[in-house]
């Protein structure tokens, strides 16, 4: 009787441990998802929204791209349309664009300085890129 109780207890503990481990494993990304966007989380997008709108890290994005990210004619392009002027619109591309800026814009009078001219950290860059990615890739 004692051995049976110990065995049941151990089986229950093993099942609980395996269930806990399974819950901690990240879900597999759907096959259709842009794998370059791996690592984008709702928290990162929310931080990026705050950076974009100048509420964190001294972000200045909204000044040229507008508070709704719809762009301003001759100043900065629309970031919500899904149309990308200087690359493929991937998360990696957007991160690189924020980091390096746009020295010779195709449809604007002035260049975009690296990091929008703000002192963004690598996390801030990834966050604002995640936010911009989410605007141009709503699904």
What is the Cα–Cα distance from 90 to 131, expressed in whole angstroms? 12
Ordered alpha helix ranges (H), the chain: 2-24, 42-52, 61-65, 91-100, 122-136
Q: What is the pLDDT of residues 119-136, one digit of tens each?
A: 999 999 999 999 999 998
Q: What is the pLDDT of residues 88-126, one digit of tens each?
A: 889 999 999 999 999 988 887 789 999 998 999 999 999
Q: Which domain holds residue 110?
A: 53-139
What is the Cα–Cα distance from 120 to 128, expressed in whole angstroms? 10
23 falls within a domain: no
Closest alpha carbon to 85 in 70, 101, 63, 107: 107
30 falls within a domain: no
71 falls within a domain: yes
What integer is the mean pLDDT of 6-25? 37
Total domains in the chain come to 1
Does pTM top 0.75 for this prediction? no
Mean pLDDT of the chain: 77
Q: According to the model, what pLDDT value does residue 18 have?
A: 34
């Amino acid at each position: 009787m004692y051995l049976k109780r110990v065995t049941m207890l151990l089986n229950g503990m093993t099942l609980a441990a395996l269930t806990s481990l399974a819950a901690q494993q990240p879900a597999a990304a759907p096959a259709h998802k842009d794998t370059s966007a791996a690592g984008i989380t709702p928290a990162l997008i929310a931080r990026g929204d705050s950076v974009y709108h100048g509420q964190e890290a001294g972000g200045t994005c909204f000044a040229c791209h507008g508070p709704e990210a719809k762009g301003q004619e001759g100043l900065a392009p629309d970031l919500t349309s899904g149309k990308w002027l200087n690359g493929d619109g991937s998360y990696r591309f957007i991160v690189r664009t924020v980091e390096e800026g746009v020295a010779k814009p195709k449809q604007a009078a002035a260049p975009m300085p690296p990091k929008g001219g703000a002192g963004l950290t690598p996390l801030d860059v990834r966050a604002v890129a995640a936010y911009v990615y989410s605007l141009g890739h709503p699904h």
